[in-house]
Structure 1
Amino acid sequence: MMFGLALRSLRHRTGAFAAAFCATFFGGTLVMAFASLLDTAVADGVPAASRETLITMASVVGGWGLIMVAFSVTSTLSLAVRQRTDEIALLKSVGATPAQIRRMIVGEAAVLGLVGTLAAIVPALLGGRLVLDLLIETDQVAPGVEHAFGPLALTIGMAVTFAGSTFAALLTARRTTRMRVTETLLEAGTQGGRTSRKRVVFGILFLLLGANLAVVTATVMRDKGTDAMQTAGQTSIWVAVGFALLSPMLLRASAAMLAGPLAAAGAAGYLARHNLSGRAQQLSGALMPIILFTGIATGTLYMQRVDDAALAADGLLSTVEQENIKTLNFVVIGMLVLFAAIMLINTLIATTTDRRGEFAGQRLTGATPRQVLAVTGLEAAVLTVVGVAFGTVAALCTIVPFTIARTGEPLPDATPAIYAGVVAVAALLALITSLATTRRALHTPAVKAVAV
């Protein structure tokens, strides 16, 4: 019965589940594209050097991609369930048991995971072929190697996206079903919810892991040359993930610190500050990809810049191995940054679209569309500032230790244009997506939006 309800819920609430579907689709595409390099590597006739490069690329890039995909799927599914707390409270009030609600939520996630994975097969095949062409063009893989898309790509893709979606749904459903009806109704009305203890613990653990790698890079890996990238490259990712897990708490604290500047913006600033504090659990979904985007892109780009400068200063020519590392770094940057950008746009659209009733209520009480846009614009601006700030801290955890290890100096002698470019992209993505989605939501008549 609950599985049938899950199917009807998906048909009726396609917009609410669009973000979760996009996460599984793009995640499946990313994971299967790089997993196909393993199918290519184990094919007959592949030279040993090419096989090693393909396995390294699939393992490193695919491994980090797996973490990002799991993170994104869990975030979007949690958002989709939180947006339905009133519906879940109603089901509880009419007699639905926790086990039945769990089966419904997990059933929805299983269908999304399966459909998203199947839809990702063709794009993943094309993406894997493009990556292989890149490796051949840069002389890292022999020209005669043919791309293969077989059981490894399909198995890994299904395991990550389908199993990941189901596991994320189980975690989300467990918290929701543990709450009493009155607690669920209260959360539905306030749009609040505290950050779970487990999330805080894992966030702190990731931060400690990043700090440990930073110390190791600056001390143990000093004067180890390019090998210092092995620890430095991971640092910004772990620290960014740690901050992302703690993002609801960081957003509430930042909103309190920015109360003065927001108050200067008048009524729009007051509402923006109230929303950032009261809806921190929901809006933190948009904060997470900004932190990841800024931290990973800035940290890895400057790390590669420092390594190139150190090699030039030593009068060394780039070897094939060093070119492989450079290509790997840029592929990692491109893949993770692209996925973080998609995650940001996806989450902002889902979060803003779900607020149509809120926007309609503001308009019915006298707010103009311009004033509603001003509120969401200020919220996006604060999200960008906070996300960039903590993303910058994560990036510095890679840049400073690696620069010390390679040059003995704490800061790199590099252009600030790289950082400015990363910040500009993050700001544009957040502002344009938020304002465009709000403008679209305002096209619906206020009375009709409230009724929906």
Structure 2
Amino acid sequence: MATGLARASVRHRQGGCTAGFLSVFLGAAILMAFASMLDTAGGPGVHGTDRTTLTIMAMVVGGWGAIVVASAVGTTLAVAARQRASELALLRSLGATPGQAVRLVVGEVALVGVAGVLAAIPFGYGGGCTLLRILQDTGQVHHGVGYRFGAAALAVGAGGCLLAALTAAWVTARRGARRRVRDAQLAAATGGRRISRFRLVAGVLLVLAGANCAVLTATVMDGGKLQTQSVAGEGAILSSIGFALLAPVLLRASTAVLGPVLRALGAPGELGVLGVRRRFQRAATPMMPIVVCTAISAGTLSMQATWNSAHPVMNADDKGTATLNYVVVGMIAVFAAVMLVNLVVAETTARRREFAQLRLTGATPRQVLRLVTAETVLTLVTGLLFGLLASLMSIVPYSLAVTDKALPDASFAICPAVVAGVAVLTLAAGLGAARRSTRAPAVGVLRGAVAS
């Protein structure tokens, strides 16, 4: 019976399930591609440096990719479950037990997740095959090594994404099912007023771990070794995920600082500041991909530019490392970009009822767009600021280790380019979703919300 309700709910909420499907699909495809290197390394006739290179690619690069993917998938599914907090409370008021409400949400996520994983298998296979070809073309793996796609790819890609999705859905739905109707409706509107103690502690520890990697790179590591770049890269990754967990706290602080500037822009700026203050956790949701995409892209590309500048004549290993860095940054950046669009569109579309109420009180569609612009700019500036701060955990220590300079000249153009790209993507997604949400008649939107 629970499965039947889950299927009916998915059919009724096709738009809301699309974001979850895309996150699982892309995450599983990326993880399968990297994890298939483990299958390839265990194939017949693979030994020595070939096996070592393939294992490192799967364990180190794929391991950090798994952390980023799991965080993004978990966040996307948690947002989808959180938006149904009031619905779960109403189900309970009609007689459903907390366990039944949780099973309904988890069943929906399981159906969407399985569909996403199955659709990702051919793309994961193709991505892994392409990755092996790059390793072979750069001379890091012999051309005689055959590609294998098996248990490791399926276990890591399918199992990792499904586990992250189901865990996030279960935790969020369980919290929402236990609330009273009034409290659940307030939480659905604001996303909660405080972050959990576990999330706060985890965020602080990850930022400290990233700072520790930065200190080790600048003081202990040898700038001529590939391991130095790996440790420096960990500084940006760890600190960016830590800042993403602390996003509501960081957004609260930046609102206090930047609020007067937005208020000076008039009524939309004032309403934007008030709207962010009323819903810190929901407003901070898109910060996760903004911070991670900015930190990893700017940090990795700047480190590679620093190495290229210090070594104009590169050997085969250096060229292979550069190629892999570009591939890894490209894959993670594309994934983070899709997650950014997903989260921004999902959060903005969920506010259609709020926008309709504003229009019925006299606001024009243009004024609503200006309100959304003010809120998006506040979130975007905060995310970019801490994303760049996280990237400095890699850029500065690596530059000190390689060139003895804190800020390398070669990377000055990279950070502005990354910032511009993330800003354009965020504003386009947010304003595009808001414009679509204000096209329908306000009365029709409210009637639809009541009917659903």
Paired letter, 2:416: A
Paired letter, 2:281: Q
Given that 1:384 and 1:430 are in contact with CA atoms closer than 8 Å, whether structure 2 keeps it comes out as: yes
Alignment of 1:28-427 (within 5 A): 28-46=28-46, 48-222=48-222, 225-312=225-312, 317-427=313-423
**Cα displacement (A) at 1:191:** 4.5
How many angstroms apart in 1 are the aligned matches of 2:215 and 2:190? Answer: 42
**Cα displacement (A) at 1:47:** 5.6
Q: Which segment is superposed worse, 129-138 or 65-74? A: 129-138
Given that 2:190 and 2:282 are in contact with CA atoms closer than 8 Å, whether structure 1 keeps it comes out as: no
**Cα displacement (A) at 1:75:** 0.6
How many angstroms apart in 2 are the aligned matches of 1:277 and 1:29? Answer: 37
Paired letter, 1:401: P
- SS of 1:15's equivalent in the other structure is helix
Given that 1:291 and 1:390 are in contact with CA atoms closer than 8 Å, whether structure 2 keeps it comes out as: yes
Given that 2:189 and 2:279 are in contact with CA atoms closer than 8 Å, whether structure 1 keeps it comes out as: no
Given that 1:57 and 1:328 are in contact with CA atoms closer than 8 Å, whether structure 2 keeps it comes out as: no
Paired letter, 2:245: L
How many angstroms apart in 2 are the aligned matches of 1:389 and 1:190? Answer: 24
How many angstroms apart in 2 are the aligned matches of 1:267 and 1:380? Answer: 15
**Cα displacement (A) at 1:266:** 1.2
Partner of 1:431: 427
Alignment CA distance shift 1:224-1:102 (3 Å): same
**Cα displacement (A) at 1:190:** 4.3
How many angstroms apart in 1 are the aligned matches of 2:356 and 2:89? Answer: 23
Q: Deviations over 1:397-450 (max 9, x none)?
A: 111111222222222122421111101100110011111111122222211111
Given that 1:222 and 1:404 are in contact with CA atoms closer than 8 Å, whether structure 2 keeps it comes out as: no
**Cα displacement (A) at 1:354:** 1.0
Q: Which segment is superposed worse, 178-187 or 439-448? A: 178-187
Given that 2:205 and 2:242 are in contact with CA atoms closer than 8 Å, whether structure 1 keeps it comes out as: yes
How many angstroms apart in 2 are the aligned matches of 1:285 and 1:147? Answer: 39
Q: Which segment is superposed worse, 97-106 or 228-237? A: 97-106
How many angstroms apart in 2 are the aligned matches of 1:224 and 1:139? Answer: 20
Given that 1:224 and 1:406 are in contact with CA atoms closer than 8 Å, whether structure 2 keeps it comes out as: yes
Alignment CA distance shift 1:223-1:32 (3 Å): closer
Q: Which segment is superposed worse, 216-225 or 286-295? A: 216-225
Q: Which segment is superposed worse, 158-167 or 384-393? A: 158-167
**Cα displacement (A) at 1:361:** 1.2
Q: Deviations over 1:318-368 (max 9, x none)?
A: 333333332332222112211111110111111111111111111111211
The runs of 5 or more residues in structure 2 that have no matched partner are: none
**Cα displacement (A) at 1:251:** 1.3
How many angstroms apart in 2 are the aligned matches of 1:65 and 1:141? Answer: 21
How many angstroms apart in 1 are the aligned matches of 2:70 and 2:361? Answer: 41
Q: Deviations over 1:128-180 (max 9, x none)?
A: 22222222222222223333222221222221122221122222223223433
How many angstroms apart in 1 are the aligned matches of 2:309 and 2:431? Answer: 41
Alignment CA distance shift 1:189-1:434 (3 Å): closer
**Cα displacement (A) at 1:307:** 2.1
Partner of 1:22: 22
How many angstroms apart in 1 are the aligned matches of 2:239 and 2:189? Answer: 33
- SS of 1:265's equivalent in the other structure is coil
Given that 2:302 and 2:411 are in contact with CA atoms closer than 8 Å, whether structure 1 keeps it comes out as: no
- SS of 1:285's equivalent in the other structure is coil
- SS of 1:258's equivalent in the other structure is helix
Given that 2:89 and 2:177 are in contact with CA atoms closer than 8 Å, whether structure 1 keeps it comes out as: no
Paired letter, 1:67: I
Alignment CA distance shift 1:223-1:58 (3 Å): closer
How many angstroms apart in 2 are the aligned matches of 1:277 and 1:253? Answer: 10
**Cα displacement (A) at 1:120:** 0.6
Given that 1:217 and 1:231 are in contact with CA atoms closer than 8 Å, whether structure 2 keeps it comes out as: yes
Paired letter, 1:447: V
- SS of 2:409's equivalent in the other structure is coil
TM-score by length of 1: 0.94
How many angstroms apart in 2 are the aligned matches of 1:88 and 1:364? Answer: 28
Given that 2:223 and 2:398 are in contact with CA atoms closer than 8 Å, whether structure 1 keeps it comes out as: no
**Cα displacement (A) at 1:122:** 1.4
Alignment CA distance shift 1:72-1:227 (3 Å): closer
**Cα displacement (A) at 1:244:** 0.2
How many angstroms apart in 2 are the aligned matches of 1:179 and 1:450? Answer: 25
Paired letter, 1:274: L
Aligned length: 448
How many angstroms apart in 2 are the aligned matches of 1:308 and 1:198? Answer: 41
Identical columns (%) = 46
Alignment CA distance shift 1:449-1:281 (3 Å): same
Given that 1:20 and 1:73 are in contact with CA atoms closer than 8 Å, whether structure 2 keeps it comes out as: yes
Alignment CA distance shift 1:63-1:226 (3 Å): closer
How many angstroms apart in 2 are the aligned matches of 1:2 and 1:265? Answer: 51
**Cα displacement (A) at 1:42:** 2.1
